[in-house]
Structure 1
Amino acid sequence: MAWRSSGATNEALIENLSKNGLITQDRVKKAMLSVDRAHYAPHAPYEDSPQPIGHRATISAPHMHAAACEALLPYLRPGARVLDIGSGSGYLTHVLAELVKPGGKVVGVEHIQPLVEMGMGNTRKSAEGRELMDDGGIRYVKGDGRLGWAGEAPYDAIHVGAAAAGFHQALIEQLRAPGRLFMPVEEEQMQHIYVIDKKEDGTVTRTKDMGVRYVPLTDAPTE
Protein backbone atom coordinates (compact mmCIF):
# COMPACT_ATOMS: atom_id res chain seq x y z
CA MET A 1 0.00 0.00 0.00
CA ALA A 2 3.02 2.30 0.13
CA TRP A 3 2.58 3.34 -3.48
CA ARG A 4 -0.93 4.59 -2.66
CA SER A 5 0.12 6.69 0.31
CA SER A 6 1.41 9.82 -1.40
CA GLY A 7 -0.51 13.06 -0.83
CA ALA A 8 -0.66 16.70 -1.87
CA THR A 9 0.26 17.93 1.63
CA ASN A 10 2.15 16.64 4.63
CA GLU A 11 -1.13 15.98 6.43
CA ALA A 12 -2.52 14.05 3.45
CA LEU A 13 0.65 11.92 3.24
CA ILE A 14 0.52 10.99 6.92
CA GLU A 15 -3.22 10.35 6.85
CA ASN A 16 -2.78 8.04 3.85
CA LEU A 17 0.05 6.17 5.56
CA SER A 18 -2.27 5.70 8.53
CA LYS A 19 -5.25 4.69 6.43
CA ASN A 20 -3.14 2.11 4.59
CA GLY A 21 -1.87 0.57 7.83
CA LEU A 22 1.70 1.81 7.48
CA ILE A 23 1.33 3.95 10.59
CA THR A 24 -0.53 2.19 13.40
CA GLN A 25 0.58 4.10 16.51
CA ASP A 26 -0.95 7.47 17.41
CA ARG A 27 2.32 8.77 18.83
CA VAL A 28 4.12 8.10 15.56
CA LYS A 29 1.33 9.70 13.55
CA LYS A 30 1.36 12.81 15.74
CA ALA A 31 5.15 13.15 15.49
CA MET A 32 5.17 12.78 11.70
CA LEU A 33 2.30 15.27 11.36
CA SER A 34 4.33 17.79 13.34
CA VAL A 35 7.39 17.65 11.02
CA ASP A 36 6.81 19.02 7.52
CA ARG A 37 8.68 16.75 5.11
CA ALA A 38 8.95 19.67 2.65
CA HIS A 39 11.66 21.11 4.91
CA TYR A 40 13.78 18.00 4.34
CA ALA A 41 12.99 16.57 0.88
CA PRO A 42 13.95 18.88 -2.02
CA HIS A 43 11.62 17.34 -4.61
CA ALA A 44 8.08 15.96 -4.33
CA PRO A 45 8.26 15.83 -0.52
CA TYR A 46 4.83 14.26 -0.07
CA GLU A 47 5.44 11.24 -2.29
CA ASP A 48 5.92 7.96 -0.46
CA SER A 49 9.21 7.20 -2.18
CA PRO A 50 12.93 7.66 -1.50
CA GLN A 51 14.58 10.69 -3.07
CA PRO A 52 18.17 11.78 -3.68
CA ILE A 53 19.49 14.60 -1.51
CA GLY A 54 22.94 14.87 -3.06
CA HIS A 55 26.33 13.46 -2.04
CA ARG A 56 25.20 9.94 -3.09
CA ALA A 57 22.68 9.96 -0.25
CA THR A 58 18.91 9.63 -0.17
CA ILE A 59 16.02 10.43 2.13
CA SER A 60 14.12 7.20 2.71
CA ALA A 61 10.46 6.77 1.83
CA PRO A 62 8.05 7.98 4.53
CA HIS A 63 6.69 4.47 5.10
CA MET A 64 10.19 3.31 6.06
CA HIS A 65 10.53 6.19 8.50
CA ALA A 66 7.19 5.16 9.98
CA ALA A 67 8.36 1.54 10.25
CA ALA A 68 11.53 2.60 12.06
CA CYS A 69 9.62 4.79 14.52
CA GLU A 70 7.09 2.08 15.26
CA ALA A 71 9.76 -0.57 15.79
CA LEU A 72 11.69 1.67 18.19
CA LEU A 73 8.62 3.20 19.86
CA PRO A 74 8.80 1.22 23.15
CA TYR A 75 12.18 2.89 23.76
CA LEU A 76 11.23 6.37 22.53
CA ARG A 77 10.02 7.79 25.82
CA PRO A 78 10.33 11.38 27.09
CA GLY A 79 13.92 11.86 28.20
CA ALA A 80 15.28 8.99 26.09
CA ARG A 81 18.59 9.26 24.23
CA VAL A 82 18.62 8.23 20.56
CA LEU A 83 21.33 7.81 17.91
CA ASP A 84 20.36 8.36 14.26
CA ILE A 85 23.12 7.08 11.96
CA GLY A 86 22.97 8.39 8.42
CA SER A 87 20.82 11.34 9.42
CA GLY A 88 20.94 12.76 5.89
CA SER A 89 18.66 15.76 5.44
CA GLY A 90 17.57 15.53 9.09
CA TYR A 91 13.93 14.48 8.70
CA LEU A 92 13.87 11.33 10.82
CA THR A 93 16.21 12.92 13.36
CA HIS A 94 13.57 15.59 13.93
CA VAL A 95 10.70 13.07 14.08
CA LEU A 96 12.60 11.00 16.64
CA ALA A 97 13.24 14.13 18.69
CA GLU A 98 9.51 14.85 18.74
CA LEU A 99 8.96 11.35 20.14
CA VAL A 100 11.42 11.75 23.03
CA LYS A 101 10.62 15.26 24.17
CA PRO A 102 10.55 16.76 26.69
CA GLY A 103 14.01 16.06 27.96
CA GLY A 104 15.15 13.65 25.24
CA LYS A 105 18.10 13.96 22.91
CA VAL A 106 18.77 12.70 19.39
CA VAL A 107 22.26 12.70 17.89
CA GLY A 108 22.34 12.59 14.09
CA VAL A 109 25.58 11.25 12.61
CA GLU A 110 26.73 11.86 9.03
CA HIS A 111 30.06 11.12 7.39
CA ILE A 112 29.92 14.10 5.01
CA GLN A 113 30.14 17.63 6.43
CA PRO A 114 27.73 19.18 3.88
CA LEU A 115 25.07 16.68 5.00
CA VAL A 116 25.68 17.63 8.64
CA GLU A 117 25.12 21.26 7.65
CA MET A 118 22.07 20.33 5.56
CA GLY A 119 20.44 18.60 8.52
CA MET A 120 21.10 21.60 10.75
CA GLY A 121 19.78 24.07 8.21
CA ASN A 122 16.66 22.04 7.43
CA THR A 123 15.81 21.56 11.10
CA ARG A 124 16.03 25.30 11.67
CA LYS A 125 13.34 25.94 9.01
CA SER A 126 10.61 25.40 11.62
CA ALA A 127 10.08 26.97 15.04
CA GLU A 128 9.86 23.49 16.59
CA GLY A 129 13.13 22.47 14.98
CA ARG A 130 14.92 25.63 16.06
CA GLU A 131 13.76 25.10 19.63
CA LEU A 132 15.01 21.51 19.65
CA MET A 133 18.37 22.57 18.25
CA ASP A 134 18.75 25.44 20.71
CA ASP A 135 17.69 23.33 23.71
CA GLY A 136 20.01 20.44 22.83
CA GLY A 137 17.20 18.08 21.86
CA ILE A 138 18.87 17.58 18.46
CA ARG A 139 22.57 17.54 17.69
CA TYR A 140 24.19 16.82 14.32
CA VAL A 141 27.79 15.58 14.17
CA LYS A 142 30.28 14.37 11.56
CA GLY A 143 31.58 10.86 12.09
CA ASP A 144 31.83 7.29 10.87
CA GLY A 145 28.40 5.84 11.59
CA ARG A 146 29.83 2.33 11.72
CA LEU A 147 31.51 3.38 14.95
CA GLY A 148 28.41 5.03 16.36
CA TRP A 149 28.95 8.09 18.55
CA ALA A 150 30.42 7.07 21.88
CA GLY A 151 30.37 10.55 23.38
CA GLU A 152 26.64 10.44 24.14
CA ALA A 153 26.27 6.69 24.81
CA PRO A 154 24.48 4.68 26.02
CA TYR A 155 21.41 5.08 23.78
CA ASP A 156 17.92 3.81 24.47
CA ALA A 157 17.38 3.43 20.72
CA ILE A 158 19.62 3.47 17.65
CA HIS A 159 18.42 3.87 14.06
CA VAL A 160 20.68 3.15 11.10
CA GLY A 161 19.58 4.68 7.80
CA ALA A 162 22.05 2.89 5.49
CA ALA A 163 22.78 -0.76 4.82
CA ALA A 164 25.52 -2.15 7.05
CA ALA A 165 27.93 -4.84 5.91
CA GLY A 166 27.40 -6.66 9.22
CA PHE A 167 26.34 -6.25 12.81
CA HIS A 168 28.75 -3.57 13.95
CA GLN A 169 29.71 -4.40 17.52
CA ALA A 170 30.34 -0.77 18.41
CA LEU A 171 26.65 0.00 17.88
CA ILE A 172 25.53 -2.86 20.09
CA GLU A 173 27.99 -1.81 22.78
CA GLN A 174 26.58 1.75 22.73
CA LEU A 175 23.04 0.48 23.23
CA ARG A 176 21.58 0.73 26.71
CA ALA A 177 20.37 -2.44 28.42
CA PRO A 178 17.49 -2.60 27.75
CA GLY A 179 17.58 -0.90 24.34
CA ARG A 180 16.79 -1.49 20.68
CA LEU A 181 18.64 -1.08 17.39
CA PHE A 182 16.89 -0.84 13.98
CA MET A 183 19.22 -1.37 11.02
CA PRO A 184 19.31 -2.66 7.43
CA VAL A 185 21.98 -5.33 6.92
CA GLU A 186 23.51 -6.49 3.64
CA GLU A 187 23.70 -10.28 3.36
CA GLU A 188 24.11 -12.51 0.32
CA GLN A 189 23.37 -9.67 -2.13
CA MET A 190 20.14 -8.92 -0.27
CA GLN A 191 19.24 -6.42 2.42
CA HIS A 192 16.94 -7.01 5.37
CA ILE A 193 15.91 -4.93 8.33
CA TYR A 194 17.07 -6.37 11.65
CA VAL A 195 15.62 -5.36 14.99
CA ILE A 196 18.28 -6.00 17.62
CA ASP A 197 17.31 -6.01 21.29
CA LYS A 198 19.69 -5.77 24.21
CA LYS A 199 18.00 -7.10 27.33
CA GLU A 200 18.52 -5.89 30.90
CA ASP A 201 21.06 -8.66 31.53
CA GLY A 202 23.03 -7.65 28.42
CA THR A 203 21.98 -10.56 26.20
CA VAL A 204 21.34 -9.66 22.58
CA THR A 205 18.70 -11.01 20.21
CA ARG A 206 18.36 -10.33 16.49
CA THR A 207 15.02 -10.47 14.65
CA LYS A 208 15.05 -10.47 10.85
CA ASP A 209 12.31 -8.38 9.27
CA MET A 210 11.41 -7.08 5.81
CA GLY A 211 13.59 -6.97 2.72
CA VAL A 212 14.71 -3.44 1.82
CA ARG A 213 16.98 -1.47 -0.48
CA TYR A 214 19.18 1.19 1.15
CA VAL A 215 22.36 2.96 0.13
CA PRO A 216 25.38 1.33 1.80
CA LEU A 217 26.92 2.42 5.10
CA THR A 218 30.42 3.23 3.84
CA ASP A 219 33.29 5.67 3.92
CA ALA A 220 32.61 9.18 2.67
CA PRO A 221 33.00 9.44 -1.13
CA THR A 222 36.39 10.73 -2.25
CA GLU A 223 35.05 12.72 -5.19
Structure 2
Amino acid sequence: MPFPSLRGMLTMLRLSVIFLVGVLLVRTMAWTSSGNSHSQLVQNLKSYQATISAPQMHAYALECLNSHLYEGARALDVGSGSGYLTACMAKMVGATGTVVGIDHIQELVEQSIRNVQSDNATLLSSGRLTLIAGDGRRGYPEGAPYDAIHVGAAAAVVPQNLLDQLKPGGRMVVSVGVSGGSQSLQQFDKTLDGTIVRTTLMGVIYVPLTDREKQLRGHDL
Protein backbone atom coordinates (compact mmCIF):
# COMPACT_ATOMS: atom_id res chain seq x y z
CA MET A 1 0.00 0.00 0.00
CA PRO A 2 1.61 3.33 -1.04
CA PHE A 3 2.32 6.06 1.47
CA PRO A 4 -0.02 9.07 1.29
CA SER A 5 1.17 12.28 -0.38
CA LEU A 6 2.42 15.21 1.71
CA ARG A 7 -0.88 16.99 1.09
CA GLY A 8 -2.75 13.90 2.21
CA MET A 9 -0.64 13.59 5.35
CA LEU A 10 -1.23 17.24 6.25
CA THR A 11 -4.96 16.81 5.68
CA MET A 12 -5.00 13.81 8.01
CA LEU A 13 -2.90 15.73 10.54
CA ARG A 14 -5.31 18.65 10.39
CA LEU A 15 -8.30 16.40 10.98
CA SER A 16 -6.48 14.54 13.76
CA VAL A 17 -5.61 17.79 15.51
CA ILE A 18 -9.20 19.03 15.28
CA PHE A 19 -10.49 15.82 16.86
CA LEU A 20 -7.76 15.14 19.41
CA VAL A 21 -7.42 18.72 20.63
CA GLY A 22 -11.15 18.69 21.28
CA VAL A 23 -10.77 15.50 23.33
CA LEU A 24 -7.76 16.88 25.18
CA LEU A 25 -9.45 20.17 25.98
CA VAL A 26 -12.26 18.29 27.66
CA ARG A 27 -9.61 16.83 29.96
CA THR A 28 -7.43 19.87 30.50
CA MET A 29 -10.21 22.40 31.00
CA ALA A 30 -12.01 20.15 33.52
CA TRP A 31 -9.82 21.41 36.35
CA THR A 32 -10.98 24.96 35.57
CA SER A 33 -14.56 24.66 34.42
CA SER A 34 -17.19 22.22 33.24
CA GLY A 35 -20.80 22.12 32.16
CA ASN A 36 -23.64 19.77 31.37
CA SER A 37 -24.48 21.69 28.18
CA HIS A 38 -22.78 23.99 25.67
CA SER A 39 -24.34 27.06 27.26
CA GLN A 40 -23.14 26.06 30.74
CA LEU A 41 -19.63 25.37 29.46
CA VAL A 42 -19.45 28.73 27.71
CA GLN A 43 -20.73 30.51 30.79
CA ASN A 44 -18.15 28.78 33.01
CA LEU A 45 -15.34 29.54 30.58
CA LYS A 46 -16.35 33.22 30.68
CA SER A 47 -16.59 33.20 34.47
CA TYR A 48 -13.06 31.82 34.82
CA GLN A 49 -11.75 33.98 31.92
CA ALA A 50 -10.47 30.78 30.32
CA THR A 51 -9.43 30.64 26.67
CA ILE A 52 -8.78 27.85 24.20
CA SER A 53 -7.26 28.11 20.75
CA ALA A 54 -9.33 27.10 17.75
CA PRO A 55 -8.16 23.58 16.83
CA GLN A 56 -7.90 24.47 13.14
CA MET A 57 -5.34 27.15 14.02
CA HIS A 58 -3.15 24.52 15.65
CA ALA A 59 -3.35 22.46 12.47
CA TYR A 60 -2.63 25.49 10.30
CA ALA A 61 0.41 26.43 12.40
CA LEU A 62 1.80 22.90 12.07
CA GLU A 63 1.27 23.05 8.34
CA CYS A 64 3.13 26.38 8.11
CA LEU A 65 6.03 24.99 10.15
CA ASN A 66 5.99 21.50 8.63
CA SER A 67 9.13 21.96 6.51
CA HIS A 68 11.02 23.24 9.57
CA LEU A 69 9.93 20.48 11.95
CA TYR A 70 12.11 17.82 10.37
CA GLU A 71 14.07 15.00 12.00
CA GLY A 72 16.64 16.53 14.34
CA ALA A 73 15.17 20.05 14.33
CA ARG A 74 14.99 22.30 17.39
CA ALA A 75 11.70 24.08 18.09
CA LEU A 76 10.12 26.43 20.62
CA ASP A 77 6.41 26.70 21.48
CA VAL A 78 5.60 29.96 23.30
CA GLY A 79 2.38 29.79 25.30
CA SER A 80 2.40 26.00 25.30
CA GLY A 81 -0.84 25.75 27.31
CA SER A 82 -2.21 22.21 27.50
CA GLY A 83 0.95 20.86 25.84
CA TYR A 84 -0.87 19.24 22.93
CA LEU A 85 0.62 21.31 20.09
CA THR A 86 4.05 21.08 21.73
CA ALA A 87 3.79 17.28 21.81
CA CYS A 88 2.78 17.26 18.13
CA MET A 89 5.89 19.30 17.33
CA ALA A 90 8.04 16.90 19.35
CA LYS A 91 6.73 13.95 17.37
CA MET A 92 7.41 15.77 14.09
CA VAL A 93 11.07 16.51 14.90
CA GLY A 94 11.74 12.83 15.55
CA ALA A 95 13.92 11.03 18.06
CA THR A 96 16.93 13.31 17.48
CA GLY A 97 15.00 16.59 17.66
CA THR A 98 14.15 18.73 20.68
CA VAL A 99 11.16 20.92 21.49
CA VAL A 100 10.71 23.36 24.37
CA GLY A 101 7.26 24.49 25.47
CA ILE A 102 7.11 27.57 27.71
CA ASP A 103 4.16 29.10 29.56
CA HIS A 104 4.16 31.56 32.42
CA ILE A 105 1.33 29.86 34.35
CA GLN A 106 3.07 27.27 36.54
CA GLU A 107 -0.14 25.36 37.24
CA LEU A 108 -0.81 25.05 33.52
CA VAL A 109 2.72 23.79 32.89
CA GLU A 110 2.25 21.13 35.57
CA GLN A 111 -1.05 20.11 33.98
CA SER A 112 0.57 19.93 30.52
CA ILE A 113 3.29 17.66 31.90
CA ARG A 114 0.63 15.34 33.29
CA ASN A 115 -1.15 15.39 29.93
CA VAL A 116 1.98 14.32 28.05
CA GLN A 117 2.91 11.73 30.67
CA SER A 118 -0.50 10.11 30.32
CA ASP A 119 -0.14 9.86 26.54
CA ASN A 120 3.59 9.39 25.79
CA ALA A 121 5.84 9.78 28.82
CA THR A 122 8.97 8.94 26.81
CA LEU A 123 8.76 12.31 25.07
CA LEU A 124 9.64 13.88 28.43
CA SER A 125 11.95 11.22 29.87
CA SER A 126 14.08 11.18 26.72
CA GLY A 127 14.59 14.93 26.80
CA ARG A 128 12.96 15.24 23.40
CA LEU A 129 10.28 17.47 24.93
CA THR A 130 10.73 19.97 27.76
CA LEU A 131 7.89 21.95 29.35
CA ILE A 132 8.87 24.88 31.55
CA ALA A 133 7.38 27.90 33.29
CA GLY A 134 8.74 31.25 32.19
CA ASP A 135 8.21 34.45 30.24
CA GLY A 136 7.85 33.27 26.66
CA ARG A 137 8.34 36.80 25.33
CA ARG A 138 11.98 36.36 26.23
CA GLY A 139 12.14 32.98 24.52
CA TYR A 140 14.42 30.29 25.91
CA PRO A 141 18.06 31.11 25.02
CA GLU A 142 19.32 27.85 26.54
CA GLY A 143 17.75 25.88 23.69
CA ALA A 144 18.46 28.33 20.86
CA PRO A 145 18.88 28.67 17.97
CA TYR A 146 15.57 27.24 16.80
CA ASP A 147 14.56 25.94 13.40
CA ALA A 148 10.89 26.63 14.21
CA ILE A 149 9.12 28.91 16.70
CA HIS A 150 5.38 28.99 17.32
CA VAL A 151 3.73 31.69 19.41
CA GLY A 152 0.23 30.93 20.65
CA ALA A 153 -0.75 34.50 21.55
CA ALA A 154 -0.82 37.91 19.89
CA ALA A 155 2.19 40.16 20.30
CA ALA A 156 1.55 43.92 20.13
CA VAL A 157 4.95 44.18 18.45
CA VAL A 158 7.14 41.43 17.04
CA PRO A 159 9.23 39.99 19.93
CA GLN A 160 12.84 40.75 19.01
CA ASN A 161 14.12 38.17 21.49
CA LEU A 162 12.36 35.44 19.53
CA LEU A 163 13.67 36.67 16.20
CA ASP A 164 17.18 36.70 17.68
CA GLN A 165 16.77 33.06 18.77
CA LEU A 166 15.59 31.96 15.33
CA LYS A 167 18.20 29.99 13.41
CA PRO A 168 19.28 31.22 9.95
CA GLY A 169 16.99 29.27 7.66
CA GLY A 170 14.39 29.04 10.46
CA ARG A 171 10.75 30.10 10.58
CA MET A 172 8.50 31.70 13.21
CA VAL A 173 4.69 31.91 13.16
CA VAL A 174 3.10 34.52 15.43
CA SER A 175 -0.03 36.64 15.59
CA VAL A 176 0.79 40.36 15.61
CA GLY A 177 -1.58 43.08 16.75
CA VAL A 178 -3.22 44.61 19.79
CA SER A 179 -5.92 42.96 21.88
CA GLY A 180 -9.37 43.97 20.64
CA GLY A 181 -7.88 45.48 17.50
CA SER A 182 -6.56 44.34 14.15
CA GLN A 183 -4.42 41.18 14.31
CA SER A 184 -2.83 39.06 11.63
CA LEU A 185 -1.03 35.74 11.68
CA GLN A 186 2.43 36.36 10.31
CA GLN A 187 5.29 34.19 9.17
CA PHE A 188 8.90 35.26 9.70
CA ASP A 189 11.65 33.52 7.75
CA LYS A 190 15.29 34.20 8.57
CA THR A 191 17.51 33.79 5.53
CA LEU A 192 21.00 32.35 5.76
CA ASP A 193 22.49 35.86 5.89
CA GLY A 194 20.20 36.82 8.77
CA THR A 195 17.67 38.86 6.77
CA ILE A 196 14.08 38.61 8.04
CA VAL A 197 11.35 38.05 5.45
CA ARG A 198 7.87 38.82 6.76
CA THR A 199 4.71 37.31 5.24
CA THR A 200 1.15 38.07 6.36
CA LEU A 201 -0.93 34.89 6.31
CA MET A 202 -4.45 35.80 7.51
CA GLY A 203 -6.48 37.89 9.92
CA VAL A 204 -6.93 36.26 13.33
CA ILE A 205 -8.09 36.93 16.89
CA TYR A 206 -5.70 35.69 19.59
CA VAL A 207 -5.40 36.40 23.30
CA PRO A 208 -2.60 38.88 24.05
CA LEU A 209 0.99 37.84 24.70
CA THR A 210 1.42 39.30 28.15
CA ASP A 211 2.80 38.57 31.61
CA ARG A 212 1.37 36.24 34.24
CA GLU A 213 -0.23 38.90 36.43
CA LYS A 214 -1.95 40.72 33.59
CA GLN A 215 -3.16 37.47 32.05
CA LEU A 216 -4.70 36.39 35.35
CA ARG A 217 -6.38 39.81 35.64
CA GLY A 218 -7.52 39.61 32.03
CA HIS A 219 -5.59 42.71 30.90
CA ASP A 220 -3.24 43.40 28.01
CA LEU A 221 0.28 44.78 28.18
TM-score for the superposition, normalised by structure 2: 0.79
Q: Which residue of 2 aligns with 1:63?
A: 56
1:167 and 2:158 matched: yes
**Is the 1:53–1:59 contact (alpha carbons within 8 Å) kept by the matching residues of 2?**
no
Kindly state the Cα deviation for residue 44 of structure 1 after the two structures are TM-superposed: 11
Kindly state the Cα deviation for residue 40 of structure 1 after the two structures are TM-superposed: 2.8
**Is the 1:79–1:102 contact (alpha carbons within 8 Å) kept by the matching residues of 2?**
yes
Q: Which residue of 2 aligns with 1:205?
A: 197
Q: Which residue of 84, 93, 96 corresponds with 1:91?
A: 84
Q: Which residue of 2 aligns with 1:8?
A: none
Distance 1:159-1:77 versus aligned 2 partners, 3 A rule: same
**Is the 1:89–1:119 contact (alpha carbons within 8 Å) kept by the matching residues of 2?**
yes
Q: Which residue of 2 aligns with 1:195?
A: 187
Letter in 2 for 1:175: L
**Is the 2:13–2:59 contact (alpha carbons within 8 Å) kept by the matching residues of 1?**
no
Q: Kindly, what percent of the aligned residue pairs are identical? A: 43
1:124 and 2:117 matched: yes
Kindly state the Cα deviation for residue 212 of structure 1 after the two structures are TM-superposed: 0.7
Partner Cα separation in structure 2 for residue 65 and residue 123 of structure 1? 17
Distance 1:124-1:162 versus aligned 2 partners, 3 A rule: same
Q: Which residue of 124, 146, 153 corresponds with 1:155?
A: 146
1:42 and 2:34 matched: no
Which has the larger Rg?
A: 2
Partner Cα separation in structure 2 for residue 118 and residue 32 of structure 1? 24
1:79 and 2:63 matched: no
Worse-superposed segment, 58-67 or 204-213? 58-67
Name the SS for the 2:118 alignment partner: coil
Kindly state the Cα deviation for residue 39 of structure 1 after the two structures are TM-superposed: 5.9
**Is the 2:154–2:177 contact (alpha carbons within 8 Å) kept by the matching residues of 1?**
yes
Distance 1:28-1:106 versus aligned 2 partners, 3 A rule: farther
Kindly state the Cα deviation for residue 102 of structure 1 after the two structures are TM-superposed: 1.9
Name the SS for the 1:117 alignment partner: helix
Distance 1:103-1:39 versus aligned 2 partners, 3 A rule: farther
Letter in 2 for 1:41: L
TM-score for the superposition, normalised by structure 1: 0.78
1:29 and 2:17 matched: no
Q: Which residue of 2 aligns with 1:14?
A: none
**Is the 1:39–1:122 contact (alpha carbons within 8 Å) kept by the matching residues of 2?**
no
Worse-superposed segment, 31-40 or 93-102? 31-40
Name the SS for the 1:124 alignment partner: helix
Unaligned runs of 5+ in 1: 1-22, 46-50
Unaligned runs of 5+ in 2: 1-5, 30-41
